[in-house]
Each structure stands twice: as structure tokens, then as C-alpha cells.
Amino acid sequence: QKHMSRKSSKCSGFTLIELAIVLVISGMLMAGFLQAYSVRLQQQKWQKTQENLAATQAALEAFVRRNRRLPCPALDNTLSEKILVLRSNDGKEVFFGKVPSRTLGISENLARDGWKNHLNYAVTRSATVDSGWNSGNPYSQGAIKILNGSRLDILDPPAIYVLLSYGVNNQGMSM
């Protein structure tokens, strides 16, 4: 009878070591999946940003065809976001702010990047008035320079406008 009680009290199942091994393997598989998913998610956000930049650029070009000028950047109603006025070395002014989605007739979602941050917009001031487009080639009046890491201008001639996304966490930039 003693021998019988031992058999009936012995349960079949997994040991703690076997369970630990299964959990470690499952964790490694899940970590690999999550890393691949995270990379794919970031790629989708960059792709969405590129699509929104292209759609916004097309809206800007349509605005120019209709109005013979570029719009000013949008002004947010918060105190933290304003239109900046910058001056180039040759005295030309550049306005910097948010993409003017209402003025362009595009949805607010198109005026955001893949991370839901506002797209930014810089424009040479002279291109925002009708007379700027009546005096020859307005694209030769650009005042926006973009410098590389060596502080060399990569645009020739300077741009008349630029669309910007600062990317994830508002760090970095995509144009």
C-alpha cells in the first residue's frame, strides 16, 4: 500500500526547468517579432511623411497657379508657436512656421508627418506677395539656404520655399 500511495501522489506535468526553457524561447521569439514590427512601423511612418510632403508640395504648386504667389505659413493660436521671420545675409526675409493647411485646402492630416507632428514650411517673403511673381522668375529670388555638415550650401540657387518634417521625437529632418 505504501508503494501505491507513491504512484498516486506522483503527478505528471512539466518541471519548472522545462517551463523556464519554454518561457525563454518564447521571449526570444517575441523580442525578434517586436523588433521587426518596430522597424516596419518606422518605415511606414517615413513613407507616410514622404507622401504627405509630396501632397503638400502639390497643393503649394496649385496655390501658386491660382494666386501667382506662395502662402504665408500658418499661425497657431498658442503662444508657443509663432511665425518666425528670419533675415538672410543679403537682407531677404524668410517666414518660418506651420504648413497653412486651410489656405491650401488640404486636410490637417496631410499637413502632419507620420508621427503626427506638424509639417513646417519656410518661404521667402517676396514670394508671398503678387509683385514678387510679376518681376521675372520668382524662383531666382529664393533666400533659403540649406547647409550640409561641413556648412556648405547644397542648394544653388537658394530655395524659394522648403517643407520640413523633424521626424520621430522632433529630432532630425526630412525634406
pTM for this structure? 0.72
pLDDT band at 51; cut points 50, 70, 90: very high
pLDDT band at 9; cut points 50, 70, 90: low
Cβ partners under 8 Å of residue 111, min gap 6: 52, 56, 98, 99, 101, 104, 118, 119
pLDDT tens column, 77-94: 554 556 777 777 778 888
CB 160 within 8 A of CB 142: yes
